[in-house]
Amino acid sequence: MERLFAGWGFDAIHARRLLRWYYDSSGEVDLHRPARQHHALPKALVACIEKDLPLSSTHVVRISEASDGTVKLLVSTHDGALVESVLMPDFRPDRAAGCISTQVGCAMACDFCATGLQGFSRNLSAGEIVEQFLHLKRDAKRLSRRLSTIVLMGMGEPLLNLENVVKAIGLMASDEAGHLGWRQITLSTVGLVPQLRQFVDLRLNVQLALSLHAPDDETRKRIIPMARRYRIADLLELAQEHQANTGRVTTIQYCLLEGVNDSDDHARALATLLAGRQMHVNLLTYNSTGQPYRASSPQRVDAFINILRDHRLVAHTRRSRGDQIAAACGQLTATKA
Ligand code: SF4
């Protein structure tokens, strides 16, 4: 924008002003509107912006709201691809958390995930990722909340679109643009060793969530195809390195599936695996995706978490949200029907 503005004969400083104002104001994705409202900009510059600066490339096609307050946005891209973003109200009445997609579909084919069943179409650009953030920001404002955290956990595997994801994280986090802050952003991955290596080497000061879902490679291979290529031990070493580099505690995500990974033995194996690593365990509820799995019973979940805590691990259960509108973990399919 600086180059563009200078080329039009205006002071490049206006680019920085406009961008800051644009991100801060309302999350409006239409750049023209803030330009028109930004009285500090010369009128002739506003006219140039309206004529020649490309508009945003995505728009919200549908907003679904669940009775638990979860909001799901169906977002259409310039080529008609559809992705979903989710807004979850925080327990604090003025805050909300956002979940953003990084790819159209997903190639990982995790057995318990509806997105994985769809297959992969394409990567999202950095702009398409950031625009979801802006759509969510605007929707949070509509609900009198502030979008305070983002997790890259929607459709897709972020590490397979690392270049665009890193660009988008920088824009959402930085003071000059999204103003969210680095540690308010979590990258969630199923774990691919080469790409995780690259991510760790970048030393981004963001949170890392590793979707483990099993305490041993054999169990993991049953539900995550990618586990046939990469060992849990290697993933944990890299997560540990990120933790050491950034001081951010890694979250281990573990979706409890009845009869698959939820026995006392699995819990003890997980405790042994994580002993001394100071990582936190997040136990997730399986949300129905049409696959032949069932969520573990509340008694099983309690028994599992108690074993982890007896082994001095920090473990929590995460309340499932948005199931009513297919917006919960593993349910995003971005269909118009
Ligand atoms: S769980 Fe994540 S990585 Fe696995 S298929 Fe679903 S979207 Fe892809």
Tens-digit pLDDT profile for residues 58-97: 999 999 999 989 999 999 999 999 999 999 998 889 999 9
Per-residue pLDDT at 176:
80
Is residue 210 domain-resident? yes
- Shared domain check, 46 and 21: yes
- Shared domain check, 155 and 36: no
- 24-36 CB burial, b ≥16 within 10 A, e <16: eeebbbebeebbe
Testing ligand 1's pocket by substitution, the residue of 102, 118, 151, 157 carrying the most ligand atoms inside 8 A of its CB is: 157
- Shared domain check, 20 and 146: no
Per-residue pLDDT at 34:
62
Q: Which of 36, 52, 68 is the last residue of a domain?
A: 52
Q: How far is the CA of 154 from the centre of ligand 1 (A)?
A: 8
Is residue 122 domain-resident? yes
Q: Which of 52, 70, 92 is the last residue of a domain?
A: 52
Q: Is 178 in the pocket of ligand 1 (CB under 6 A)?
A: no
- Shared domain check, 66 and 32: no
Per-residue pLDDT at 332:
77
Atom 5 of ligand 1: nearest residue by CA position: 116
Q: Are 126 and 86 in contact (CB under 8 A)?
A: no
Per-residue pLDDT at 337:
62
Q: Which atom of ligand 1 is nearest to the CA of 332?
A: 7
Per-residue pLDDT at 322:
74
Q: Is 115 in the pocket of ligand 1 (CB under 6 A)?
A: yes
- Shared domain check, 215 and 99: yes
Q: How far is the CA of 108 from the centre of ligand 1 (A)?
A: 6
Q: How far is the CA of 66 from the centre of ligand 1 (A)?
A: 22
Q: Would you give per-residue pLDDT tens digits along the chain (337 residues)? A: 899 999 999 999 998 888 877 787 654 555 566 666 667 788 899 888 888 886 578 999 999 999 989 999 999 999 999 999 999 998 889 999 999 999 999 999 999 888 888 899 999 999 999 999 999 998 998 899 999 999 999 999 999 999 999 999 999 999 888 889 999 999 999 999 999 999 999 999 999 999 999 999 999 999 999 999 999 999 999 999 999 999 999 999 999 999 999 999 999 999 999 999 999 999 998 888 777 899 999 999 999 999 999 999 999 998 767 777 777 777 777 776 6
- Shared domain check, 99 and 142: yes
Range of the domain at 28: 2-52
Is residue 330 domain-resident? no
Q: How far is the CA of 42 from the centre of ligand 1 (A)?
A: 47
- Shared domain check, 67 and 162: yes
- Shared domain check, 148 and 177: yes
pTM assigned to the model: 0.91
Q: Which atom of ligand 1 is nearest to the CA of 224?
A: 4
Is residue 335 domain-resident? no
- Shared domain check, 133 and 32: no
Task: Domain count for the chain, please give it.
Answer: 2
Positive or negative, the Cα torsion across 141, 143, 144, 145? negative
Torsion angle in degrees (nearest 10) through CA of 260, 218, 106, 286: 20
- Shared domain check, 291 and 156: yes
Per-residue pLDDT at 16:
85
Q: Which of 13, 28, 52 is the last residue of a domain?
A: 52
- Shared domain check, 285 and 164: yes
Can you give the CATH number for the domain in which 154 is found? Answer: 3.20.20.70
Q: Is 83 in the pocket of ligand 1 (CB under 6 A)?
A: no
- Shared domain check, 11 and 96: no
Would you give the end-to-end CA distance of the chain in angstroms?
39
Candidate list 28, 48, 84, 131, residue with the active-site label = 84
Is residue 160 domain-resident? yes
Is residue 334 domain-resident? no
Find residue 120's DSSP bridge partners. Answer: 105
Which residues lie below 8 Å from residue 312, measured CB to CB, with a gap of 6+? none
110 is catalytic: no
Q: Which atom of ligand 1 is nearest to the CA of 329?
A: 1
329 is catalytic: yes
Q: How far is the CA of 29 from the centre of ligand 1 (A)?
A: 27
